[in-house]
Structure 1
Amino acid sequence: MNVKTLCLGVLSLGDASGYEIRKMFEEGRFAYFYQASYGSIYPALAELLKSGDVTCTVQAQDGRPDKKIYAISPMGLEAFRAALKKNPEMDRVRSETLFMMFFADQMEDDHLADVFDAYAELHRTIVDKIKSLDNEGVSRGRRFVRGYGLAFSEGVLKYMDGNREALLSAPKGEGWRDMEALRECLDKQREEDQ
Structure 2
Amino acid sequence: MDAKTLCLGALARGPASGYEIRKMFEEGAYAAFHPIGFGSIYPALTALLAEGLVACQEEPQAGRPDKKVYTLTPEGHAALVRSFASNRPAVDKYKSDTLFMLSLAEVMEPDRVRRLVADYKDLNASELEKMAECDPADMTAGQRFVFGLGKAVYSAIATYIDNNAGALVDSLERGDHEPLPGRSAGETAPHRARKAGE
Question: Above 0.5 in TM-score?
Answer: yes
Matched, 1:154 2:158: no
What is the match of residue 70 of structure 1? 70
- Counterpart amino acid of 1:16? A
- Counterpart amino acid of 1:93? Y
- Counterpart amino acid of 1:165? G
What is the match of residue 14 of structure 1? 14
Change (3 A) 1:112 1:63: farther
- 1:180 to partner: Cα distance: 4.4
**Alpha-carbon contact 2:110-2:172 (below 8 Å) kept:** no
What is the match of residue 101 of structure 1? 102
Count of matched residue pairs: 180
Change (3 A) 1:50 1:109: farther
Separation (CA, whole Å) in 2 of partners of 1:130 and 1:104: 30
**Alpha-carbon contact 2:8-2:72 (below 8 Å) kept:** yes
- Counterpart amino acid of 2:116? V
User: TM (normalized to structure 1)?
Assistant: 0.81
Query: Runs of 5+ in structure 2 lacking a partner?
Result: 184-198
% identical aligned pairs: 42
SS in 2 for 1:170: helix
What is the match of residue 176 of structure 1? 179
Q: How does 1:1-194 map to 2 (within 5 A)?
A: 1-86=1-86, 87-171=88-172, 174-177=177-180, 179-180=181-182
User: TM (normalized to structure 2)?
Assistant: 0.80
Separation (CA, whole Å) in 1 of partners of 2:126 and 2:47: 37
SS in 2 for 1:52: coil
Max radius of gyration: which structure?
2
| Backbone CA RMSD of aligned residues | 2.2
For residues 122-158 of structure 1, what are the alpha-carbon distances to aligned partners after superposition, in whole Å with 9 as ceiling and x for unaligned? 1112223323322225321111001100111111111
Give the ranges of 4+ consecutive aligned residues of structure 1 lying more than 6 Å apart after TM superposition. none
Query: Runs of 5+ in structure 1 lacking a partner?
Result: 182-194
